[in-house]
Structure 1
Amino acid sequence: MKSLIPCALLVLSQAALADDSTALYLRAQTESVETALGSATHSFGMGELRWQRDMLRGVFTARHDTRDGDLLRVNELSLERPLGGGFATVGKKVMSWDVGYAFRPLDVVQQEDRRALNPVTLEGVPMVAWEAFDDSRAITVVWTNPGHGKRDQPKGDGALAVRLYRQQGSTDQYAVLRASQRNGVEGGVSFSHVASDEMEVHGSVLLQQRHDEWVISRTAPPRWQRFDGGGKALAGFTWTTESKFAVLGEAWVDRTAARGRQRNALLRAAQTSGDLEVAADVLWQVRQGANGGSRIASVGAAWNASPWLVSASLRHYSGAASYVARNVMVANVQYAF
């Protein structure tokens, strides 16, 4: 197992100088949700257009949804230009950070849900950014949602963030600093260490001047509530064999999540054989009190033989989590042009 960061930096530099390209993806997905009150089915069809012209890049999606109707969205639209030994970016862009798989404490820009079943295309964040890198170091400075203050969701807040990266032998090291009206000053560090060809370990910690916690009440609508202090932390490992059998284990704490969802442990196993991958995982959410905790188990399979991608997943909720949903089933098929 080798470090992925130098490869990512190479992809970034190639993307900035990429030739003109256009790709179209068509996707159909259906989702069935079972709750204590019954079952409901939700389906949609989606087209996704990705193109690059010189240093202008765009990602657009058009969606017809049986529940939400028709939707047109600009997921990404950004211009990159060389500036000061690096690259400046202006526009809307997906920018995911940190080393975790199921959870990323230092993902202070994108703030995506990494546990979604067969997630759709991510929507980027409006930003002005500057990035520079060499063979072993990188720096990113980003101003997200320029002109905005505190919005309804943290991802929409105006903020200034800096990320530093350094590769030292078989270890990737990160440091992040962010300032926003909602959380004040946040700072954190993370690492990913390749211990052998099979084993990798990683961890992250983020400390916050203050934080908003997602509060769910039976007597009031869900809302953000402010608290002083706060933080997020993660520890995990990956183990991969030559036969492409992989095990992932992670444990984390997230003070911004709703009560009962703040302390988590995940174990995932996956086997890849040719174009087919089969995976299963269990997420435990530790909760004190009479209601106990939650256990969320998932199984899924994906067949990816270009240009086709076909996948299906089932997720079962037990314990406190079953009050919202008991079973969720998702299936989709995608074709790329």
Structure 2
Amino acid sequence: MLVYATPGRGKAGMPRDDESLALKFYQHEGNTDVHAIARLSERNHIEVGSAFTNVAVESFEWHGSLLYQEQYERLYNSLIGTTGMPISSSDPMTNRLERHGVKALIGFTWTGQSGFSLLGEAWYDAGAYSAGEWRAVKNLTERQAALLGQGVPESAVRGNIAFSTRYFDRPNLLRENLLLRLSHRQEGGNLEPALDILCTPADGGVVATASVGYEGNRFRLDAGVRQFGGARNSAYRMLPDERIVYFALQGFW
């Protein structure tokens, strides 16, 4: 399938709205599905990716994906590495153009006859930040916080600290990630409790989520609690929130 999206728009405000030309390929053979894509846009130039899923036996499947980007953008705080006053009168966050990015994932799903299911995944995202870059953000924040009460306007200090919270806007905070998810759903049942553990080995971060989902005839309810923890200097411990409780209700009509 050949797709030409949003003709004449060029580089839009959001990547999904960019003008782009994409060639998509899909093939199903036996117990294996294969996807491939090539995309051309002003923002990323050439992107080439592929993905597969294979059902090895009835209770076990494994999957993987790989994406190469000729170029991509990442946000950086321009105050990092400076030796002067770590305060800016304007937004110091800038988009830096990076070259030759790779995203890769490998994972599996095991489903037992008792209704238990185990999902495991490991992935790498070059567009995320390294543990060293997070340490640099933490050091800058500590330098800025030390100016409170030292004659620098409090609004300027707190405003500059707030700029760096945009580092948390990326889908992955760290480049290397490990996920394990255990869930249970009886055949014909509507209730599905689950436990997720996400780890970032590079900095020792951990995110644990306990959740439950209930699916009725015309709605689905999800609720859970998510705890951010791990090593003291990990990116997830730097989040403004230590714990999140969430509810989600979807209706089908």
Scaled by the length of structure 2, the TM-score of the pair is: 0.70
Aligned to 2:10: 149
- 1:254 lines up with 2:125 in the alignment: yes
Q: Partners of 2:52 and 2:181 in 1: how far apart?
A: 21
Q: Following the alignment from structure 2 to structure 1, what is the Cα–Cα distance between the partners of residues 198 and 50?
A: 24
User: What is aligned with 1:304?
Assistant: 215
2:249 alignment partner in structure 1:
333
How many residues are paired up? 194
Judging by fraction of residues, say which structure has more helix: 2
Cross-structure match for 1:132: none
Distance in 2 between the 1:194 and 1:256 partners?
30
State the match for 1:57 in structure 2. none
* Structure 1 position 285, deviation (Å): 1.8
Give the direction of change, closer, same or farther, for the CA distance of 1:311–1:188 in structure 2 (3 Å limit). closer
Task: Name the counterpart of 1:118.
Answer: none
Superposed displacement of residue 243, structure 1? 2.4
CA distance in 2, matches of 1:216, 1:167: 45
Q: Is the 8 A contact 1:177 1:188 kept in 2?
A: yes
- Superposed CA deviations along residues 256-285 of structure 1, whole A, max 9, x for unmatched, are 223441111111111013110001111112
Map 1:309-324 → 2, pairs under 5 A? 309-318=220-229, 319-324=234-239
Aligned equivalents of 1:334, 1:230: Cα separation in 2: 36
1:143 shift after superposition? 2.1
Q: Any stretches of 5+ residues in structure 1 without a counterpart?
A: 1-139
1:95 is matched with: none
SS in structure 2 at match of 1:155:
helix
Higher strand share: 1
Corresponding residue for 2:148? none
> 28, 32, 35: which is aligned to 1:171?
32
Task: Name the SS of the counterpart of 1:194 in structure 2.
Answer: strand
1:98-124 residue CA offsets vs partner (Å, 9 max, x unmatched): xxxxxxxxxxxxxxxxxxxxxxxxxxx
Task: Write out aligned runs for 1:200-211 (5 A).
Answer: 200-211=61-72
Q: What is the identity, as a one-letter code, of the residue corresponding to 1:271?
A: H
Q: RCO higher in 1 or 2 (8 Å CA, sep ≥ 6)?
A: 1
Q: Is the radius of gyration larger for structure 1 or structure 2? A: 2
Q: State the Cα distance separating 1:182 from its structure 2 match.
A: 1.1
TM-score normalised per structure 1: 0.54
SS of the residue 1:234 aligns to: strand
Partner residue of 1:266? 179
Q: 1:144 to 1:322 in 2, by over 3 A?
A: farther
> How far 1:238 moved relative to its partner?
0.6
